[in-house]
């Protein structure tokens, strides 16, 4: 893949992840869960800014996912681990969507000929 295209995709990814976080954070009702999501999204955005390729970005997101601490106690109203994992999953889904559209060329399948 062309490096210019990859840099463009990473820039779009950064904007999309920020927009996604801006939409999701106010809709998380529990403060602990909201804080966990915010902290993980900050890590994700830092890694997106520093990434040089999509493969490198995927590896960095896997590292974040592996370092998520497990919660020793189950609580009924708060589950920060779940929200940390959700932040990484949201970033992965943004990357998958952009890759499908721009790299694999799936956008051409949406052109209708009448």
pLDDT at 98: 86
pLDDT at 77: 66
- Asked if residue 40 lies in contact with residue 91, where contact means CB atoms within 8 angstroms, the answer is no
Percent of the chain with pLDDT over 90: 52
What mean pLDDT is predicted for residues 63-67? Answer: 91
What mean pLDDT is predicted for residues 53-82? Answer: 82
Distance CA 66, CA 60 (A): 10
What mean pLDDT is predicted for residues 50-68? Answer: 90
Question: Which pTM value belongs to this model?
Answer: 0.81
Q: How confident is the model at residue 40 (pLDDT cuts 50, 70, 90)?
A: very high
**Taking Cα atoms as reference points, which of 3, 17, 2 lies closest to residue 98?**
17
- The greatest distance separating any two alpha carbons of the chain, rounded to the nearest whole angstrom, comes to 59
pLDDT at 101: 82
Which residues have CB under 8 Å from 49's CB, separation 6+?
Answer: 14
Q: How confident is the model at residue 108 (pLDDT cuts 50, 70, 90)?
A: low
């Amino acid at each position: 893949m062309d490096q210019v295209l990859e840099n463009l995709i990473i820039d779009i990814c950064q904007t999309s992840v920020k927009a996604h976080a801006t939409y999701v954070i106010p809709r998380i009702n529990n403060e602990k869960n909201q804080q966990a999501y915010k902290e993980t999204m900050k890590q994700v955005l830092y890694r997106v800014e520093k990434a040089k390729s999509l493969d490198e970005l995927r590896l960095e997101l896997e590292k974040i996912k592996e370092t998520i601490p497990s919660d020793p106690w189950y609580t009924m109203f708060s589950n920060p681990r779940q929200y940390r994992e959700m932040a990484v999953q949201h970033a992965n889904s943004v990357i998958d969507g952009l890759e499908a559209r721009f790299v694999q060329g799936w956008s051409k399948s949406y052109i209708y000929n009448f």
